[in-house]
A = this chain, B = another copy of it.
């Protein structure tokens, strides 16, 4: 059946087949390493290598002292975007720069409450700013950054625009960040932004809403940008085969 390639790949392929066929439901304990050694007639090293591949594929989770449990019935397929900073993720080059021009307190309306995942009327802080080309200072888009006005946020954001920007960049540090949600929509250019962007109100504009979450799943902040007509390009690559790779 799985007679090709290294022994650990054969073991891994067998286990994948059995998991796919539902021999162990999600959450169920797999046989222990020693059981697998006996069953497949391999050393513990080989069994562990097979299990490691399944783990890299997201099919199992292992816990020292506890055991190995099924996490998914199929290998995960992950498209990934390699980045070296949050700016890369957003496809802004290093040639652009965000500046805040004003900070205001707002009670969350329906839209903002949905963005910030808070109750209607909750106190929020809204920072309004512009992203400009670093050299020509040409205006690229206008941005509103929203945070829930906790006492902590009040102290760290509710100061001056430059300080609020620094606070935001610190909060969006790679080591804190865990998930980013990006939404794109075509909207008529709002009157408020039309003046700044020197375009006609009602013309097609690209609105991008980005919500940033930390490792615990808590929302850090939401940023809403309006672009005159720009194109956003996201390039994603399919990850490598974690089972068969050398």
**Would B84 and A81 count as touching, CB distance under 8 A?**
no
Is A111 at the interface (CB under 8 A from chain B)?
Answer: no
Chain B residues with CB under 8 Å of A76's CB are 82
**Binary CB contact string for chain A from 86 to 102 against chain B (1 if under 8 A, 0 otherwise):** 00010000000000000
Nearest CB in chain B to that of A75: its residue: B84
- Name the contact of A180 in the complex, choosing from B64, B77, B236 (C-beta under 8 A): B236
Q: Which chain A residues numbered 157 to 194 have a C-beta less than 8 Å away from chain B?
A: 174, 177-188
How far is B178's CA from A242's CA once the two chains are assembled, in angstroms?
14
How far is B74's CA from A84's CA once the two chains are assembled, in angstroms?
9
**Would A174 and B77 count as touching, CB distance under 8 A?**
yes
Nearest CB in chain B to that of A239: its residue: B80
Nearest CB in chain B to that of A241: its residue: B175
**Binary CB contact string for chain A from 31 to 74 against chain B (1 if under 8 A, 0 otherwise):** 00000000000000000000000000010001010000000001
Copies of this chain, how many? Answer: 2
**Would B236 and A179 count as touching, CB distance under 8 A?**
yes
Is A120 at the interface (CB under 8 A from chain B)?
Answer: no
**Would B174 and A188 count as touching, CB distance under 8 A?**
no
Chain B residues with CB under 8 Å of A237's CB are 178-179
Chain B residues with CB under 8 Å of A227's CB are 186
Nearest CB in chain B to that of A227: its residue: B186
Report the minimum CB–CB distance from A234 to chain B (whole Å).
5
How far is B181's CA from A238's CA once the two chains are assembled, in angstroms?
11
Is A246 at the interface (CB under 8 A from chain B)?
Answer: yes
**Would B89 and A231 count as touching, CB distance under 8 A?**
no
What would be 13 A-B contacts, judged by CB atoms less than 8 Å apart?
A77-B174, A79-B89, A80-B239, A174-B238, A177-B238, A178-B237, A179-B236, A179-B237, A179-B238, A185-B229, A186-B227, A187-B204, A188-B204
